[in-house]
Amino acid sequence: MEGWGLLYNGFINSLTLVNLVACFIGALVGTIVGVLPGLGPTATMALMLPFTMKYGATTGLIMMTGVWYGAMYGGSTTSILVNIPGEAASVVTCLDGYQMCKKGRAGAALAVVAVGSFVAGTLGIMGLQFFAPFLGNAALSFGPPEYLAFMLLAFVLLSNLSSDAPLKGALMIVFGLFLSTVGINPMDSYPRFTFGYDNLMLGIDFLPIAMGFFGISEILSVALEKYVKPEVNKIRLKDLYPNRKEVKRSVYPTLRGSILGFFVGLLPGPCTVISTFVSYALEKRLSKTPEQFGQGAIEGVVAPEAANNSAVMGSMIPLLTLGIPFAGPSAVMLAGLRMHNVEPGPMLFTTNPDVFWTFVAAMYLGNIMLLILNLPLVGAFGRIAVIRPQVLMPVISLICLVGIYSVRNSLFDVWVMIIAGVVGYFLRKWKFPIAPFIIGVVLGPTTENSVRQSLMMFKGDVSLILDRPVAIILLALAAAFLACKLAAPLFGKKVALKVEEDDTL
């Protein structure tokens, strides 16, 4: 099979020192970020983006996915040991994880979660490996109207799933779309919303906005919070062995969580977070002893953790096959790939197949690295959780400042980052979701191109869209979802699957 040959080449490419080191650094930093409450994977990936510029696109992609992946691994550590979720996708793990810790089974919980995450991650990569090229080929037939319809569907789902108030999500998306129109429009070289200011001619760069909204606003939030020293329960290596019963009870939840997480990962919005909630609910429903959930049921720990790991891989599919990111971290990845002059989408598999296959191979290796890293070092990671923010935040602030300046040697970018940070701080306080905004910014140019190209294709006759069945189906799905949402209050029912976006996403 051609795929295996390409994967073999991918392994050879990924086994370079640079890629292995990038994978290791990504996984390590990701785990640390996952452990530390506050800074989330999106902020960290934006922060690390400038450092990947020196190396190729593949190295950059490997490092950033390593961060996202590592954060999913690390997040569970503090949930179980300290009852504080390191990031949003580990909130559910606290419920039963901390209860297990109180019963003296923290070591077993951590070990089962690490192995479960490894299995889920590996299954997720397999899913990506098989589905992505297939979907990429299918997407080759997509024209501008299909892209536009797909993005509209994504925006509708995104605004509904990423916030408690869908209106706020929608407003954030259109605000992001607006910001992307600032600067010279490449289609007709017309400067828009620049108001004669030279720095705005090239548009507002994505990176300072992302670092401001996710990084600086987070630093400000943490700086203003009252610090309560968490108590970490100590773990010894010999405590890490789960007993036979615990292993037996974990097998099926891990597999179910992995499969469920992968498919939830295909949804727009905070897919990793949603996957944990859905998977926990599913396990509770399937369990013969649902009363044990919340009291330290191992199924309630391992299934959500498996789900969030495979969700990461699931959400790589829309990014790599269509070039459409569905979550904050994948929006940063898209921006990163564009900085390396690689445009993800259906053409990726023909123009840059090495990027995809090296990435897949590196993820297999990264997953093994994370397992090796997490099991023996779990005690050390637990201790990182108690580093005081007064020590950590000043250092991160300075890395943000120097990092963003170094990308284009531009003080203007630093100003943009600070302003975005202040605005982001207030938006967080008022519960406006940030990820839809960032996705709006990064998808703005593609949306505009699709709108204009579709109109030109149809020679102004919008009704011609009826001849495009795929576009019509996608638009119908969006309309049906909106209709359900609007009609739900009339029947006194609330539409489920509403997950409040956490600050870290």
Partner 1 sequence: MAKIARFRLETIFDLVLMILGVIILIVSWGYGFGTFRRPGPGLYPFFIGALVLFFSLILFILEMKPKKTESVFTKEGALTFILMIVTFCLWIVVMPLLGYVVVTFLATFAFTKIMKLEGWWKPLAISVGTAVFIYLLFDYWLYIDLPRGILG
Residues at the interface with partner 1 (CB under 8 A): 51, 54, 165, 167-168, 170-171, 174-175, 177-178, 181, 185, 187-188, 190, 192-193, 216, 219-220, 223-224, 388-391, 393-395, 397-399, 401-402, 405-406, 409, 411, 414-415, 418, 421-422, 425-426, 429-430, 448, 451-452, 455-456, 459-462
Instruction: Answer whether 344's CB lies under 8 Å from 108's CB.
Output: no
Q: Which structure tokens are listed for 368?
A: 């093994």
Residue 4 or 190: which CB sits closer to partner 1? Answer: 190
Residue 375 or 399: which CB sits closer to partner 1? Answer: 399
Minimum distance from residue 56 beta carbon to partner 1 (Å): 15
Centre a 10 Å sphere on the Cβ of residue 407 and count the other Cβ atoms it contains: 17
Residue 192 main-chain phi, psi, to 5 deg: -125, 140
Residue 378 or 417: which CB sits closer to partner 1? Answer: 417
DSSP, res 214 = I
Minimum distance from residue 65 beta carbon to partner 1 (Å): 21
Q: Is 405 exposed, middle or buried (0-12, 13-18, 19+ CB in 10 A)?
A: middle
Residue 216 or 311: which CB sits closer to partner 1? Answer: 216
Instruction: Answer whether 64's CB lies under 8 Å from 48's CB.
Output: yes
Minimum distance from residue 171 beta carbon to partner 1 (Å): 4
Collapse the DSSP code of 55 into the 3-class scheme (helix H, G, I; strand E, B; otherwise coil) and give the result.
Answer: coil
Minimum distance from residue 286 beta carbon to partner 1 (Å): 39
Minimum distance from residue 268 beta carbon to partner 1 (Å): 18
Minimum distance from residue 498 beta carbon to partner 1 (Å): 17
The DSSP element (H or E) to which 25 belongs, if any, is: helix 17-35
Minimum distance from residue 284 beta carbon to partner 1 (Å): 33
Residue 237 or 483: which CB sits closer to partner 1? Answer: 483
Minimum distance from residue 325 beta carbon to partner 1 (Å): 19
| Nearest-10 Cα torsion for 167, 172, 176, 181 | 40
Alpha carbon distance 454, 449 (integer Å): 8
| Helix pair angle (57-82, 41-52), 10° resolution | 150
Alpha carbon distance 227, 238 (integer Å): 32
Q: Indicate the residue type of 231.
A: E
Minimum distance from residue 28 beta carbon to partner 1 (Å): 15
Residue 60 or 124: which CB sits closer to partner 1? Answer: 60
Residue 383 or 429: which CB sits closer to partner 1? Answer: 429
Alpha carbon distance 4, 6 (integer Å): 5
- Placement of tokens 């203007």 in the chain: 412
Instruction: Answer whether 69's CB lies under 8 Å from 309's CB.
Output: yes
Residue 1 or 167: which CB sits closer to partner 1? Answer: 167
**Alpha-carbon 190 to chain mean position:** 34
Minimum distance from residue 164 beta carbon to partner 1 (Å): 13
DSSP per-residue letters across 75-92 = HHHHHHHHS--SSGGGHH
Residue 186 or 376: which CB sits closer to partner 1? Answer: 186
Minimum distance from residue 343 beta carbon to partner 1 (Å): 21
**Alpha-carbon 318 to chain mean position:** 12
Residue 141 or 409: which CB sits closer to partner 1? Answer: 409
- Placement of tokens 């209050």 in the chain: 489
Instruction: Answer whether 256's CB lies under 8 Å from 116's CB.
Output: no
Minimum distance from residue 78 beta carbon to partner 1 (Å): 21
Which residues fall within 8 angstroms of residue 181, CB to CB, at 6 or more apart?
A: 192, 193, 444, 448
DSSP per-residue letters across 233-265 = PP--GGGGPPPHHHHHHHHHHHHHHHHHHHHHT
Alpha carbon distance 79, 91 (integer Å): 7
Residue 174 or 247: which CB sits closer to partner 1? Answer: 174
In whole angstroms, how far apart are CA 477 and each of 154, 155, 156, 266, 334?
10, 12, 10, 15, 25
Residue 137 or 390: which CB sits closer to partner 1? Answer: 390
The DSSP element (H or E) to which 48 belongs, if any, is: helix 41-52
Residue 353 or 389: which CB sits closer to partner 1? Answer: 389
Minimum distance from residue 173 beta carbon to partner 1 (Å): 9
